[in-house]
Structure 1
Amino acid sequence: MKHHTLPVSPSTVHWGYFSKAVQPALTLKSGDRATIETLTHHAYDDYDRMIAGDPGAEAVFKWTREEKGIVRRGSGPTTGPFERGSGEGIGVHIMTGPVAIENAEPGDILEVRVLDVRPRPSCSACYAGRCFGSNAAANWGFHYHDLIEEPKPREVVTIFELDTAGEPYAKAVYNYVWVPQTDPDGIVHPTIDYPGVPVDHRLIRKRENIMANVRVPARLHFGTMGLAPSEADFVSSIPPSYTGGNIDDWRIGKGARMYYPVAVDGAFFSVGDPHAAQGDSELGGTAIETSLTGDFEFILHKKNDLGGTPLEGLTHPLLETGDVWSVYGFTFPNYLAELGDNAQTEVAGHASLDKAMRDAFRKMRRFLMTVHKLSEDEAISLMSVGVDFGVTQVVDANWGVHGSIRKNVFRCD
């Protein structure tokens, strides 16, 4: 076993997409471990707290009229004309990777063990050693067209500080209503419509002393993690699919084991969208978006060795923790294959919790019948009395429902 380190830099991250066509930032063998740094794409919501003085973050977020640290942001074309900024595409998350796994082939399963997760502290002289994150109640949030206070509509950014001295929690520092921001290329952004737009704090009005009596329990996890799909060279980081991606489940933190079906040679694992805390549904559009570093272990399960194991026939992401197994249902189990050439632009128009619940039910039924050898009638009964189905997220175009069953259900006295 070897231990690798993958820091963030313009050469080790790709912004807004999964890809089988990008040169791997790291190649390792089954059984190897890696310490991987990740950055939140919302760090520019407060430059002083989340970027300033941090060489890796400054290089990735660099954007002047003369130079842009990362040009391609999303899965769209690299040439214009552009409406929202140079290199615009579909997808928003800063992804570290890809990490290629030697000997990984389609049909295999890659197990990713999250050994540890820790926040990336501020390097700013004013805030050194402290940890911050941003929550944007944004235009893609479930709430956006159902507001009751004026002005309507509005997007609101809340900056949180993460306290890790004891049992970790996050506390709000201040918030502000998004006002039009002009990026270094001269393009005006009336809404949060392009990732990494510098926010000019001279234009905003900070509202302090908010949520004074609220402490949010920390749930450090990675919202977007998975493998490159086979259907296209560049695939938006926003909708989750059969190889993982933007699942946005707070349970994918320290101690979690994720199993992903390999779709391309090398698997091409990427991780990003780090979160300090999130509730089921991620209702407003984001979690507390922060920057995290994770320790990972990678185990490759070859397709010829899957028979008789819980991974036999697995065609979708699967979570294992010390206590539960979880499956993930989506509006479309594989939207890229189901919606055709325009899938990445059209999937959001079809979002449905009904379909996601149906998919989660079918995946859990298969899990109980295949792994635990229950009949269909036994599986359905157990699902009704012993499986917890919940709304994972309603903001990622391909909406999600998770189904979780506790391992102790199967223990016999």
Structure 2
Amino acid sequence: MPLPRPRGTHVSASHTVWDRALDPVAVVRSGDEVEVLTQEASGGQLGPGSTAADIAVLDLRRINPVVGPFFVEGARPGDALVVDVLSVDLDTWGWSALIPGFGLLADEFPEPYLRTSAVDSTPGGGGVQLLPDVVLPLAPMVGTIGVAPPEPGPHSVVPPRRWGGNLDIRDVGPGARVVLPVGVEGGLFSLGDVHAVMGDGEVCGTGVETSALVRVRLTVAPGRAPASPVVVTDLRTLRLETTLATTGVGDDLLECSRDAVRQAVDLLVEERGTSREDAYLLLSLAADLRVSEVVDAPHWVVTCHVPRRLLPGWPHV
């Protein structure tokens, strides 16, 4: 079924840069709820019938559009803007891709690759049908959320910064709270880049990118600006299942991360018979990358936690 009809006041106007000079799309009071209709991360360049050829010609200036900005009355530099995520209603399809130059193993996956997925969020629905034999449970989350920086813009919406942005924190879903430092008068809050499901780390560079209807509450906490965004999680955003965790061990956290993911890719290829591209995509959606040990510096341990149901027979003993 299509996205639900918006309820009450809603906004769908989008932009692709952070800029304190942008005119607000709406003025709201502290404690107000707003509803936004977000576009999938390509900004309309991809659809259910797209192919890898469309990835090769993506206009990267149009990716990660966010809806806003909202001017919150009473929000001033030094305050915190508290964002409560109330609901995230998903579209019926999404896409995941390997985009040349993006992702933890970008040098090992240089060619464009695309998977579109059916997204079934009806009660008792099937979740995300990524591959014929892989259905992932839904875990809606907001990837890009933030306020305007005080420095003159424009600033790319893609990299995260102190003021929020493309944080891609998997726990920013329904029931979660995000606390942002306010950098300019009114905050100028925006959000977008919704995923139907994504693993911690988003290792290939994409989740299941989809459009969504997102409802949030915006509240000003005077004088309570954190040094950088803080997320208060909700039980609904946690993964409660057993995992198989591959490891990366060494003196470079980035290389440890790459080693852990590379080993997990190899296991999925060997055990499930998937292509390396599909294995890498699957890890970006379903696996969680964690820093597990930093106490024995300069030796670090990074783990890539793969749901056990994806590798049920390993090891064979």
Q: With structure 1 as the length reference, what TM-score do the two structures score?
A: 0.52
Aligned: 1:141 with 2:99: no
Secondary structure of the equivalent of 2:201?
Answer: coil
Which residue number corresponds to residue 327 of structure 1? none
User: Quick one: distance in 2 between partners of 1:316 and 1:232?
Assistant: 19
Cα distance in 1, alignment partners of residues 199 and 99 from structure 2:
16
Q: Distance in 2 between matches of 1:4 and 1:228?
A: 25
| Cα distance between partner residues in 1 of 2:234 and 2:75 | 26
Q: Deviations over 1:103-128 (max 9, x none)?
A: 110000000000111013xxxxxxxx
CA spacing shift, 1:133–1:261, aligned 2, 3 Å: same
* 1:390 Cα offset (Å): 2.8
Contact map agreement 1:111 1:257 (CA 8 A) in 2: yes
Q: CA deviation at 1:35?
A: 1.2
The residue that corresponds to 1:316 in the other structure is 228
Query: Is residue 11–residue 68 contact of structure 2 (8 Å, CA) maintained in 1?
Result: no
**Matched-pair contact (CA < 8 Å) for 1:261–1:315:** yes
Q: CA deviation at 1:169?
A: 1.3
Which residue in 2 is equivalent to 1:171? 129
* Superimposed CA distance per residue, residues 112-148 of structure 1 (whole angstroms, 9 cap, x where no aligned partner): 000111013xxxxxxxxxx00010111112222124x
Is contact 1:108-1:300 (8 Å) kept? yes
**Structure 1 pair 353/100, CA: closer, same or farther in 2 (3 Å)?**
farther
SS at the partner of 1:145?
helix
Partner of 1:114: 85
Count of paired positions? 232
| Among 105, 114, 119, the residue aligned to 1:162 | 119
Give the counterpart of 1:229 among 123, 140, 149. Answer: 149
Equivalent residue number for residue 293 of structure 1 = 213
Paired residue for 1:390, among 265, 279, 290?
A: 290
What do the CA deviations read for 1:130-180 (whole angstroms, capped 9, x no partner)? x00010111112222124xxxxx31101000111231551003xxxxxxxx
Preserved CA contact (<8 Å) 2:24 2:68? yes
Contact kept? 2:126, 2:135, Cα under 8 Å: no
Amino acid of the residue matched to residue 227 of structure 2? T
Distance 2:8 2:145 in 1: 18
RMSD of aligned Cα (Å): 3.0
Supply the AA of the counterpart residue of 2:117. F
**Which amino acid in the other structure matches residue 300 of structure 1?**
V
Question: Given the superposition, is the C-alpha separation of residues 323 and 216 from structure 1 closer, same or farther in structure 2, using an over 3 Å criterion?
Answer: closer
Residue 94 of structure 2 aligns with an amino acid whose one-letter code is G
Which consecutive residues of structure 1, in runs of 5 or more, have no partner in the other structure?
Answer: 50-83, 121-130, 148-152, 173-210, 307-312, 325-351, 358-387, 392-400, 402-413
Cα offset for 1:222?
Answer: 1.0
CA distance in 2, matches of 1:301, 1:389: 32
Q: What does residue 28 of structure 2 align with?
A: 28
* SS of structure 2 residue aligned to 1:289: coil
Gaps of 5+ in 2: 1-6, 51-56, 237-251, 258-287, 292-301, 303-317
Q: Which of residues 67, 71, 74 in structure 2 aligns to 1:103? A: 74
Alpha-carbon displacement from aligned partner over 1:285-324 (angstroms, at most 9, x marks no partner): 1111000111111110011xx4xxxxxx621100112459
User: SS where residue 279 of structure 1 aligns?
Assistant: coil
In 2, Cα distance between equivalents of 1:353 and 1:269: 33
- Over residues 226-271 of structure 1, what are the superposed CA-to-partner deviations in whole Å (9 max), with x where a residue is unaligned? 1111112211111101111101012101001000000000100001
Out of 53, 78, 93, the residue aligned to residue 64 of structure 2 is: 93
Q: Quickly say closer, same or farther: Cα 1:233–1:89, change in 2 above 3 A.
A: farther
* 4+ aligned runs moved over 6 Å, structure 1: none
Q: Is the 8 A contact 1:138 1:285 kept in 2?
A: yes
Aligned to 1:100, the other structure's residue is in SS state strand
Change (3 A) 1:353 1:226: farther
Distance in 1, Cα, partners of 2:232 & 2:22: 29
**Structure 1 residue 246 corresponds to structure 2 residue 166:** yes
Cα distance change on mapping 1:281 and 1:44 into 2, 3 Å: same
TM-score (norm 2): 0.66
The residue number in structure 1 matching 2:14 is 13
Q: Which residue of 1 aligns with 2:180?
A: 260
1:215 partnered with 2:135 = yes
Partners of 2:234 and 2:95 in 1: CA distance: 30
In 2, Cα distance between the equivalents of 1:273 and 1:302? 28
Percent pairwise identity: 30
Equivalent residues of 1:91, 1:237 under 8 A apart: no
Preserved contact between residue 17 and residue 93 of structure 1 (Cα < 8 Å): no
Q: 1:339-363 CA deviation, whole Å, 9 max, x = no partner?
A: xxxxxxxxxxxxx957xx9xxxxxx
**Aligned equivalents of 1:7 and 1:89: distance in 2?**
24
